[in-house]
Chains A and B, each alone.
Chain A
Amino acid sequence: MKFFKNKLLQMILRRIIQSVIVLLFVTLLVFLVMQAVPGDPIINFLGEAATPEQIAYFTALFGFDQPVLVQYFRWITGLFQGEMGRSVTFQMQISDIIFERLGTTLLLVIPAFIISVVFGVAFGVIAALRRGKFLDSAVTFFANVGMAMPNFWMGILGIYIFALTLGVLPVQGFVSPTQDLGESIHRLIMPVIITASGPLAVFTRQTRSAMLEVVRQDYVRTAEAKGLDSRNIIIKHQLRNALIPIVTVMGVMLGAMIGTTVLIESIFVIPGIGSLMITAIRSSDYLVIQNGVLLLAVAVCVCNLAVDILYGVIDPRIRDAK
């Protein structure tokens, strides 16, 4: 069978199986930890004045009276049927809320990711080529500051400067691109740039150090000795080899970015998955929390899988590694 002899496909298959196992552990972990959460979503929803009969009725309705193991299996089998249960707080199917919110979060994360990779790699290459010069120091300094800057504070600073003082960007709020594309982009500019800033700093640092590592390699010297022009050497010989550590960081950063949207969404009042999680935690809405965490874990696993496939494409040696 030629299909199974393809090493890249074998690697992808192996990684998919590993990801499924990890996700299974995530469901177990999340479910067990959720059992320990104080506060009862039913009482939160009904209020303190609820009668014991009302509480018992709603507890049975949401299945919270079942044994823990039964609840777990109901959750897992439900997931395979696309069922996540009903939210106590929102009184809606969780799958409906969660996927709508995920779409909004992706509107924030995808452009931010592209910006951070493109500019991060570009700044990193520039800093590496100008090593020890003023430009290098400036880029490295800003990268350090970017990594240490709290996202929420940067958001507030951005609102103060660009919205309240200069008045060029709106303060908060979200408009769906299907409703009004121009306004949607206008409102997303600041949140996207702020989401991109931290990872951009990380990419800059990583690219700079990866490029400096590669410069010393023999094949670069060989390429120079052959008289290749420097642009060719930088792009084909240095950057391509420096890409591997950068791609590793890409996977990690994409996961981290999905996490930071919690803060960005809460500052800019964007109805994404992060703000949903905060609402769910405040109202101890178990099912929303556990499905939300699972969905984010799935997103992270997909990113990691994509990175591993990308590795295999960039570096044939990795395909063979077990």
Chain B
Amino acid sequence: MNKTLETPPAKPKKSKTVRKLRRFFRVLFARKLVILCTVILVIMALAAVFASFVAPFNPYSQNLGNSLSPANSTNILGTDMLGRDVFSRIVYGTRVSFSVGIVSVAFSGLVGMVLGVVSGVAGGVVDSFIMRVMDAMLAIPLIILAMFLGAVFGQGLGNVMLAVGIAMIPSYARLTRGQVLTIREMDYVTAGTIFGASKLRNAVSHIVPNCIAPNIVLMTMNLGGAILAEANLSFLGLGINPPTASWGAMVSDGFMFLSMHPVIAIAPGIFILLIVLCFNIVGDAVRDALDPRLRGTF
């Protein structure tokens, strides 16, 4: 009898990435509040994408005969001074908020990371120069810097994204440089250098991958801030060009009719509050889930 030793069929092991992702989502959605905020954000994102289906009216069609009408069964939040449906404009405003938030944060995160890596890896004069420019930018309050850059680029969606994006670069550059300086001293980088890896190779294969997680955390946490910055600029009349529906500009337009029709100014503000609050809470949760050690550092 031939007895062969048979190993029992191994249980299919889940890959490391799947386990990591599972852990991430488990920690992320541990609190009910985070789930609620995520659901609200998903609904808002869907409303932004399918705005033309969700909004009952064209947000730009004026009807001066029906201007400043109070909330009724047709216009659920009433109409503004040009007779445009307030609710439809709020739905379309979601597009502006999401696009400014995502694009400007992605831009600042990317550029900031590149500057931080270059600064940290190159060292010397390059490092000093980049960091002093970042310090100079940080010395100007964010809203003033965004206003100032907005004055240079002019108004409009793309320019607002650029102004807000540039204004937020320094925080990423600083964070990344700090990470690079720590990682540079790690044994695996020294090992790479001993085996003849160039600075560039070390940067690409060791340093950059290790800088990504804290930057993603900072990006999620900054989404709310970027949306708020756009709302601030548009409120001041230095942001999105009319007639594009932007929540900040809607509050500003409604301000004139506050005593008679408070809904026009107050309703868009509630949505700004809601989206920023949800992004902040989800951002905090992402930080805790991705890397608990980062708690309290931002």
For the complex formed, measure the closest distance between the CB of A125 and the CB atoms of chain B, giving whole angstroms. Answer: 17
B277 touches A262 (CB 8 A): no
B265 to A, closest residue via Cβ = A156
**Smallest CB gap from A281: residue in B:** B151
Cβ contact of A259, chosen from B143, B154, B252, B259, cutoff 8 A: B143
Chain B residues, CB < 8 A from A144:
277, 280-281
B232, A152: Cβ atoms closer than 8 Å = yes
B132 CB contacts on chain A under 8 angstroms = 21-22, 25
For B136, list chain A residues within 8 Å (CB). 22-23, 25-26, 28-29, 297
Instruction: Please tell me which stretch of B84-92, B196-204, B207-215, B268-276 contacts chain A, meaning at least 4 of its Cβ atoms lie within 8 angstroms of it.
Output: B268-276
Q: In the complex the two chains form, is B139's CB within 8 Å of A145's CB? A: no
Query: A251-268: contact bitstring with B at CB < 8 Å (1 yes, 0 no)?
Result: 000011011101100110
Residue of B at shortest CB range from A149? B273
Q: How many A-B residue pairs have CB under 8 A?
A: 137
The answer for the CA separation of A38 and B295 in the assembled complex, in Å, is: 43
Give B101-144 as 1s and 0s: 1 = Cβ < 8 Å from A's Cβ atoms: 00000000000000000000000000000001101110111111
Q: Mark B276-296, 1 if CB is under 8 A from A, else 0.
A: 110011000000000000011
Shortest CB-to-CB span from A293 to chain B, Å, is 6
* Residue B147 interfacial (CB < 8 Å): yes
Known: A281-B151, A297-B140. A152 touches B266 (CB 8 A): no
B147 and A281 form a contact (CB under 8 A): yes
Inter-chain contacts of B144 with A (CB < 8 A):
258-259, 262, 277, 293, 296
Q: How far is the CA of A159 from the CA of B258 in the complex (A)?
A: 9
| B residues in contact (CB < 8 Å) with A | 132-133, 135-137, 139-144, 147-152, 154, 224, 228, 231-232, 235-238, 248, 251-252, 255, 258-259, 262, 265-266, 269, 272-273, 276-277, 280-281, 295-296
Give 27 pairs: A residue, B residue, CB < 8 Å, sorted on A: A21-B132, A22-B132, A25-B133, A29-B133, A29-B137, A33-B148, A33-B152, A34-B152, A36-B152, A38-B152, A148-B228, A150-B228, A150-B232, A150-B273, A151-B232, A152-B232, A152-B248, A153-B269, A153-B273, A156-B269, A157-B269, A160-B266, A164-B259, A213-B296, A259-B141, A259-B143, A297-B136
